[in-house]
Each structure stands twice: as structure tokens, then as C-alpha cells.
Amino acid sequence: MRHLLLFLSACSFTIACRATHIIGGEIYYDHLEGDQYQVTLKMYRDCGPGNINNQGFDASAELGVFSGSGIYIFSAHAAFPGATSVPVTLDDPCLSAPPSVCVEVALYTFVIPLPPTADGYQLTYQRCCRSPTVANIPTPGDYGLTCTVQVPGQAVPLLNSAPRFNALPPIALCLDQDMTFDYSATDPDGDQLVYALSTPFNGGDNFNTTPSPPTAPPYAMVPWGSGYSESFPMPSGPPIVVDPVTGVLTVHPSMIGSYTVCVSVKEYRDGLLLSEVRRDLRFDVVACNASVTAVVPPQQTFCSGLTVDFGNNSIGGQLWHWDFGVPTSLADTSAQEEPTWTYAEPGTYTVTLIANPGLACADTADAVYQVHEAAQPFFEPPAPFCGPQELTLTAGGTFDPAATLDWDLGPGASPSTATGPSVTAQFAPIAPQTVTLTVTQNGCTSSYAADVMGHPLPTVSCTVDPPSPQLAGTPVSLHGGSLSSGITGYTWYLDGEPMPWTGADPVWTDTRPGVHTLTVEVNTADGCTAAFDVTYVITAGEIVVPNVFSPNGDGHNDRFTIPNVQFLTNTLKIYNRWGQVVFEAANYKNQWGATDVPEGTYYYVLHVEGEEHAGHVTIVR
């Protein structure tokens, strides 16, 4: 039995500890359409030091629906929607609460059907337990919290939505300071609202932290500790009050501690009480920091352009005055906490921040900011090239004349690094290789990179058959070859002139005497070319002039044919016995058939490349 009691005692302590992070709540509803209502439950938790994130919020909140006479009807559930921070707002800009003050709020939403009834409904959420630090409730860890609201019955001719508090509640109250807070509410139906301090409802205990279903109304109220009451829930001189018409709460806290304060707003229509919404919340009276320190954080970036985003590391300030240090302007100011300012030109500026300007707690801080444009380097990369190339790169873009320019030309360049506005290097045919230009100015660096595309030259060769030299007229077979990949075609040249030959294996048929250069050029898909030359000698052979021919049309010896003369530069003249020229030709090509002269003997004179041949030729038919 002793062990059981110890176990139950430990469980009770554990449950209470887990529940103490909840510090208050409120509930209201909105009529949607027909029988549908949306119910909003706001729960507040302490998120200060030592409190685990979201501990105290229900993973699923249970809403109990009761008849107006207190009979349980059903329950609705809503999953934890996530939490948001409640800002600590003080009405004195010279005061700041300790950073340990932290409260989060979670909004659970239920959509439920509530058909009209004579006595209406009561909507209730309960849980345990209150924070053991609360000073105005005896043994506060033994008492829970009930959030409840009434939905009027058919005595109200129109459907109703409940009032809801406008602003988030004050989280921290400053010791010995007059403080005023707007605790007013809004009613969607425009009904009359009356405000008052109230006594919180109890709900749940250490053994049943979240009653399921919630207990039925009416609900017991928590007891006040000695010296405290509904009208005096916390030490304050003068006492805390809520204006019944405006809902403005005024208080002058006189003792540090945590105090449960409940403010109610009652809704009346034509003198009839429709509903009451209560905000049950723990107020924390703390020693507020009255010192204000203006702090402009040190500049982090120096070359990000003329627009500067200013941070603010001030302590305790709520009002701000910035002067951005433009000596020729009175408009370079801002009242924002963390402003942005764009300067007209680069320079060094003394920036001034005043925290809480015009107040007794004002403080001033100065900081020197250097404002510079970022360098914007650029260079025009060369066109793709073939084979090793010496290239010159020139820096462009925007940067100061005194800036330092560094080049990383890549592993395929010699040299691989260089400095200055223009560099020349030998680039190997490696595709691609990245060249980076880095500009350093005002302690900042900016870079620009581009690829240099170099492609290897293809290999090429050429063979001939038969080998040189050969007599004029001998056909010569050519063969172009390459060990490179990506060859797209072959181009052939004879003595520098393009030839109509195609493919890798053309045949040269019109061979003429001379020392010739045969060239084959290969092309690749990368646009690179390589050529190979072959020297080939064609000889004309001996010039032997016949002394007779028979132009009788039998197809044999019908023309005055001089072997090899057609391959050589020549002039020919034929004379009759009276010395008259009967035929002449420049660059004679064996075309004279003597069709216009009679049989007989004729005299010829042939000049072939500086040599003269003369003699007689007889025509026999």
C-alpha cells in the first residue's frame, strides 16, 4: 500500500508539472449559416526558459456541448493547430520586459451543428492545472481552468455570435509603473458589451487533467488567496480596474509575482443577457528594464551596391530615428526599426541611430558604413579555335581603375595564371577549359568565368599510284587518309586550285607535264581542317613530228598528230609550196585534219616552249 501511495503521489506530481505550462484561455463562437457554428478556443502557455516547445497544449482539444439546463449532449474534438508567439507590448517605450517572458497562443477551431432549442446551449472546455507560481490562489496547482460560453435559446429572435476580445492580452506588467491596456471586445451583431473583473472558473484536477467529457455546468470558481478578491486580484495601487463601457484596463503593479486575472465581457440585446466571454489569464509582474541602448550592428557587406539593409541590435528601444549620413540631405531619415536606404553614390557615411528619440531614456549610436558598387567584370571569350593558339583576353565590365585583376587561365594555358587588364597566353586544344577573371576592389571580390573552346587538329595523309614521275596523260589514283574521328569530308587542290574531285579516293586523269602540288584537306565536325601536300612530276615525253598523214576519213591517221604536243605550250604554222599559211594554232592539240587543202607536201614551223621544230609533212588521201 505504501508503494501504491508513493506511485500515485509521483503520478500526481508528474501530471501537475505537465499541466503548469497552460496559463489561461478564452472561448467564443460565430454563427455561420443554418445550424452551423464555428467555435474558437484560445489557449495560452508559458514558453519561457525551461519549458518544452508546445508542452501544455492538447494534441486534441475536447469541446463539451451541453443544453442550457446543463445536460451533456455530445463532444467535438479539434487537433492542435500549432502555436504563435504573443508579443510582449508595454505602453511605455522606455520600458522593456526581461527576455525570459514568453507566451504562446494556440487557436483550436470546431465547427458544430446547434439546432435551435428553447434553452440554448453551453459550450465548455476544461483542463488542469494552474501554474504553481500563481500567488493569488491558494495551492494553485490543485485547480484547473474552465472556458465556457452560452448560446442563447429561442427567446432570442435572431441567431447570435459571441463577442471576442480585440487585442492579444498583456503578458508582462512592469513593477511600480502605471500601465494601461485596451481589453475591449467586438460583437459581430453590434450588441451592447459590459466589462468587469471576474472570478475564474475551476476545471480539472491532478487526477483528471482533461475531463472527458467536460463536467456539466454550473461551474465552481477558484478560491482567492488571503487578501485577494474578484475586485482586487493582484497587488496594485491604486487597484486594477476595467472600464465597464470601454474595456480599458488600468493597473499599477506593486509586487513582483504571477497573478491570475479574469476579465469578462457580457453581451446584452435589448436588455437581455445573451452570453458572457471570459479571458482567464496569468499576469506576470516583472522588474522591467528601464535602460535603453542604441546599437547599430557592424557592417557585414561592403560591395553589395548602393542599397543598404540596416540591422538594429538595440536593447529596450521601441521608437527609432535613423539618419543615414548624407551631408547634403535632410530627408535621409527613417523611423523604421530596421530600414533600407539607397544612397545616390558610393562613399563613406556616418550612420546615426537614436533609440526612443525625444524621451528621457533616449540613446544614440553611430556607425561608419562604406557603400560601394560591386565590381562587374566581363571578358569576351574567343571564338572556338583549332589546334594550339596564342590568344589575347581583355578585361571589360565595371570596376575601379585601381582594382586588382587576376586571371585563372586553366590547366591548358601557358602561363596558367596572369594579372592585369589584358593577358596573352598559349592555349592547348582542350575543349572546354574555363577561364576566370577575378576583380578585387574595396576589399571585395567579383568574378566572371567563361569557357575557351579549343579543338585538336585532325591528322591527314595522301598516297599516289603510280608513283611520280609519270608521262603526261597517265591517270593517277589518289588516296586521302586520316586517323582522326569526326571527319566530315575531303577537299582536293591541284597547284592551289580547288578540284571537283570528291571523296577520299579520286583519280587525276588530266595529267599534264610539270611539277605539280597535290593537296588533300580534311574537315571535322568541330570546323577544324588539316592539309597534306604531295609533289608529283608529269613529263611530256619526246616531240616527234610525223612527215605524212592521210585525212581520208577511214579513222586512221586522219589528223596531223604530234605526240605530247597538247601538253605543252606551243604555236604551229603550216605553209603551202608558195609560202602561204594554210593553218595556224596557238597551243595546238592535234586537231588539224587538212580538210581544206589538196594533197601534197607542206612546210610546218612548230615552237614548243622555246624550241623550234621545222620540216615537211605530206598529205596523202
Neighbours of 559 (CB within 10 A): 14
CB 558 within 8 A of CB 550: yes
* pLDDT averaged over every residue in the chain: 90
For residue range 272-291, list pLDDT tens digits in order: 999 999 999 999 999 887 77
At 250-273, the pLDDT tens digits run: 999 999 999 999 999 999 999 999
* C-alpha cell recorded at residue 336: 523604421
Q: Which of 329, 347, 367 is the last residue of a domain?
A: 367
Residue 549 has pLDDT above 90, yes or no: yes
* Pair (436, 338) in one structural domain: no
| Average pLDDT of the segment spanning 553-567 | 89
pLDDT at 5: 35
Q: Which of 55, 94, 43 is nearest to 356 (CA)?
A: 94
Helix (H, G, I), strand (E, B) or coil at 539: strand
DSSP state of 456: P
Alpha-carbon torsion 168, 171, 176, 177, what sign? Answer: negative
Residues 73 and 112 placed together within one structural domain of the fold: yes
Q: From CA 221, how far away is CA 225, in angstroms rounded?
A: 13
Q: What is the CATH number of the domain that holds 395?
A: 2.60.40
Q: Exposure of 430 by Cβ count < 10 A (0-12 exposed, 13-18 middle, 19+ buried)?
A: middle
Q: Which domain holds residue 446?
A: 376-450
Closest CA to 40 of 149, 156, 155, 173: 149
Average the pLDDT over 555-569 and give the result. 88
My answer on whether 396 and 343 are in the same domain is: no
Is 299 a domain residue? no
Give tens-digit pLDDT for 207-226. 888 999 999 999 999 999 99
Q: Are 25 and 125 in contact (CB under 8 A)?
A: yes
Is residue 13 predicted with pLDDT exceeding 70? no
| Whether residue 396 is found in the same domain as residue 507 | no
* Helix and strand element counts for the chain (H, E): 1, 46
Residue 590 lies in a domain: yes
Structural domain includes residue 238 = no
CB 438 within 8 A of CB 408: yes
- The band of 594, judged by pLDDT with boundaries at 50, 70 and 90, is very high
Same domain, 562 and 466: no
Residue 537, pLDDT > 60, answer yes
Domain annotation covers residue 559: yes
- Contacts of 615-618 spanning 24+ positions with Cβ under 8 A: 615/545, 615/547, 616/547, 617/545, 617/546, 617/547, 617/548, 617/549, 617/560, 617/574, 618/547, 618/548
Give mean pLDDT, residues 475-483. Answer: 93
User: pLDDT, tens digit, for every residue of 439-474?
Assistant: 998 888 899 999 999 999 999 999 999 999 998 889
Final residue of a structural domain among 539, 571, 595: 539
* pLDDT class of 58 with cuts at 50, 70, 90: very high
| Torsion angle (degrees, nearest 10) of CA 11, 214, 231, 46 | 50
Q: Which of 428, 425, 414, 417 is nearest to 385 (CA)?
A: 428
pLDDT over 60 at 2, yes or no: no
Q: What's the confidence (pLDDT) of residue 4?
A: 35
Is 205 found in the same domain as 139? Answer: yes
Number of independent structural domains in the chain? 5
What pLDDT sits at residue 303? 81
Query: How confident is the model at residue 621, as a pLDDT?
Result: 85
Whether 162 is covered by a domain: the verdict is yes
Q: What is the pLDDT of residue 17?
A: 39
Taking 60 as the threshold, does the pLDDT of residue 12 lie above it? no
* CATH number for the domain that contains residue 481: 2.60.40.10
Does 247 fall in a domain?
no
Residue 43 CA, distance from chain mean position? 38
In tens, the pLDDT along 366-403 reads: 999 999 888 899 999 999 999 999 999 999 998 888 89
The band of 157, judged by pLDDT with boundaries at 50, 70 and 90, is confident
Cis amide leading into 102 (omega within 30): no
- Please give the pLDDT value at position 7: 33
- Residue 400 grid cell: 575601379
Average pLDDT over residues 507-511: 92
Reading across the β-sheet that carries 476-481, which strands appear in turn?
Answer: 461-465, 476-481, 507-508
One domain for residues 600 and 509: no
Task: Establish if 456 belongs to a structural domain.
Answer: no
Domain contains 474:
yes
Please, are residues 110 and 56 in contact by the beta-carbon 8 Å criterion? no
Q: Which residues are within 8 A (CB) of 9 and not within 5 positions of it... i.e. 6 or more apart?
A: none
Same domain, 165 and 260: yes
Are 596 and 503 contained in the same domain? no
pLDDT, residue 55, reads: 62
Q: Which of 367, 392, 416 is the last residue of a domain?
A: 367
Judged against a pLDDT cut of 70, whether residue 116 lies above it is answered with yes
Instruction: Please write the tens of the pLDDT for every residue from 336-355.
Output: 999 999 999 988 999 999 99
Which grid coordinates are listed for 539?
Answer: 613529263
Q: Domain check: are 508 and 429 in the same one?
A: no
- Give the H or E element holding residue 7: helix 2-19
CATH number at residue 585: 2.60.40.3080
Q: Which residues does residue 267 pair with via DSSP β-bridges, in sequence order?
A: 193, 275
More confident: 365 or 92: 365
Q: In what order do the strands lie in the sheet with 347-355?
A: 333-334, 320-323, 347-355, 363-371
Give the rounded percent of residues in the chain with a pLDDT score beyond 90.
71
Residue 49 sits in the same domain as residue 133:
yes
Tell me the three cell numbers of residue 397. 565590365
Measured distance between the N- and C-terminal CA atoms of the chain, rounded to whole angstroms: 156
216 and 319 within one domain: no
Q: Which residue has the higher pLDDT, 580 or 316?
A: 580
